[in-house]
Every structure is written in structure tokens, then in C-alpha cells.
Amino acid sequence: MKRSTVKVLTLIVALGLVATACGSTNRTTADTLEGTTITLVTHDSFALSDSTLKAFTDQTGVKVDILESGDAGTMVSQAILSAGNPVGDVMYGIDNTFLQRGLDAGLFEPYASPALSDVPDKFKLDPQHRVTPIDFGDVCVNYWTDALGTAPPTDLADLTKPEYAGKLVVENPETSSPGFAFLLATIVRFKDWEGYWAGLRANDVKVASGWEDAYYSDFTAGGGDRPLVVSYASSPVAEVVYADPPVDTAPTGVLADSCFRQIEFAGVLKGTPHRAAAQALIDFMLTPTFQDDVPLNMFVFPVTKSATLPKVFLDNVTVTDTPLTLDPATIEANRDKWTARWSEIVLG
């Protein structure tokens, strides 16, 4: 026992040292940017080319660590729990369906980036500039063209027609972000959205728990028997980029009339000791270097007017000019009521 005791003691001490070493990040008090390391808190869909953040470090001397926090909902919940003592300096990826919750919890420091002049006004949802729009994506009904067996729907209302019976799979708005966005789309679009969902239910709509389950188990893409799925406007692009064997045109199409707009924002987290560096990172996110890199890495669209889209995007997706939208405060105020009502109608 004695020898093992010593070993165990050594282990505890070593662990303690490791823990302390890892716990205390080197934070400089003075806001000289050079040599600062800041932490970008984001969701787990985050991706960029290696060269992109390196360009930021080269320009400013600020190194960026990435901290991923699960899906957007988990990320916001975590940030609210640690409000005032944030795990990082900048948050990126909070979208308009969760925005109000983050704003209400006072997560962000206002910052109006000069680069905002390059961003159309329709994306600037917070007049106080606590958050800055960085990218957007639309949640839309996708169809697998060859498996439809009929003409693609052109109107959201078409989905309750008999020819689309048993063909649509949606995600549960209580457990899925695109599922919730699609519910919002129907609420914006139809005055009697409850009647619309009753119609979808009568038309044998299937409800999956999440996007992966819907797209890869029930939708044609994963061998499923449903050729209509709630996914993203950019999904056909990914179907081309990640096709195997390669294809020229996407096997899927988008019902443009069904698209609900999700805008993703970045904000300086209140309590950061690195305000200047954090603001510099927000500025950088609106530069062409960052904006042009976003589409092929995260399959979302840049918000700046000067950004350019890669060819595969231009060839395979048309962004609708008239997406369905809803103001974040209304979303937050009604979320529980709407999802509960939805559950009664569709699952009850």
C-alpha cells in the first residue's frame, strides 16, 4: 500500500498542477493587442479555412482560440449561466431565434463596428449594436427531385395536397433548430397556421427528433422513403460539394417559398478583459477574408455587400429576396406557447 500511496499522491499533485496550469489563461491587463490571445465561443457547426484566422493574427498580433459549445441553444444557455464571467471574449453564432434570450440576459457589450456600413440594414436587428450580423442561412423545404414522382411543390400550401401525402419529414421544433425555424415559417406565412399543421398531419407528415435523423434516415438522401425534408437553402450545394461519386447538378432542390431566414450574429461578451481585441475580431469577421471563407466552410451566406459567393453556390442555389422573417422579441415571447400548441396539433 505504501508505494502505491506515494504514486497516488504524486498523481493528485500532478493533476492539480495540470488543472491550475490549464485553468489560468495568460491574460494581459493592458489592452495592447500584440500578443493577446482571445477566445471565440461558438457552436459546433463552426468551421473556417486554416488561413483565415491566421490572417487575423498576422494583421493584429491577436491569437484566437476556438471554444465550441454544442448547438446554438446549448451555447446560449451556457453563456447565460456564466454571464458576467464568460468563458471567452467573443460569441459567434447566436441566431435570431435565440437572440432575444441572449440580449435579455445582458450577455453582450455594445459595439458598432465601422465595417457595418457594408452590411444591408435588413440584417441589423439590434439597434443598440450589442450584436453584429455576420452570416445568414435560410431554412427551407428541400426535395429529392428524382424521388418525388410528381412536380416539385412551388408553394408552402401545396404540401397539404394529396400528391404530397406521406412525403414530408420535418424536425420536432422542441428539439431541433431547423424544426423550430420551419414552425416559425408557417406561423408567418399562414394566418391559420394551426389549421395548416392539422392539414400536414392529415397528410401524414413525419416528425423526426433532429436534422441528422430527418435527413439521413427518413429523407431520400439516407435511403429513406420521404422525398421532402426541412433542411437549408444551401443543402443542395453541399450535396454537390460532398457528392461521391461527383455530380454536376444537385439531386435536390429548394422550395423557395418556404424559406425562413436565420441570421447569425457575433457579439463582445460582457466581462471580457480584452475588449479592444474582441472588437478587432468583430471587425475582421466583416472583412472579405472572413466573409468569402464562410460559404464553403459552414454552408451559410455572407452578409456584406462586397462579399463574393463561390461558383458552386451561384450554380446551385438562388437566395430568395422575400424570406419569411420574424422579430426576435416576438419569437422569444411566444416560443413556449407556439411549440406547446404545435405539439398538441401534430403529436396530440
**Interface positions, 191-250, toward another protein (CB under 8 A):** 207-213, 215-218, 221-225, 231, 235-236, 238-239, 241-245
Q: At what angle do helices 177-189 and 193-202 cross, to 10 degrees?
A: 120
Nearest C-alpha neighbor of 234 from the set 154, 132, 92, 135 = 135
Q: How far is the CB of 121 from another protein (least distance, A)?
A: 29
Cβ partners under 8 Å of residue 280, min gap 6: 33, 56, 60, 62
- Of the pair 119, 331, the CB lying nearest another protein is at 331
Q: Does 14 bind another protein (CB under 8 A)?
A: no
Nearest C-alpha neighbor of 108 from the set 329, 282, 269, 272 = 269
Q: How far is the CB of 5 from another protein (least distance, A)?
A: 5
- Of the pair 76, 277, the CB lying nearest another protein is at 76
Q: Does 74 bind another protein (CB under 8 A)?
A: yes
| Beta bridge partner(s), residue 179 | none
Sole binder of another protein in the list 175, 320, 325, 334 (CB under 8 A): 175
Among the residue ranges 38-46, 120-128, 184-192, 272-280, the one whose residues contact another protein (CB under 8 A): 38-46
Scanning residues 329 to 348, which ones bind another protein (CB under 8 A)? 335-336, 339, 346-347
Q: What does the alpha-carbon distance between residue 199 and residue 345 come to, in Å, rounded to a whole number?
A: 10
Scanning residues 258 to 317, which ones bind another protein (CB under 8 A)? 296-297, 299
Among the residue ranges 74-82, 128-136, 194-202, 272-280, the one whose residues contact another protein (CB under 8 A): 74-82
Nearest C-alpha neighbor of 101 from the set 74, 70, 134, 66 = 74
CB-hemisphere CA count at 13 Å for 42? Answer: 18
- Of the pair 82, 157, the CB lying nearest another protein is at 82
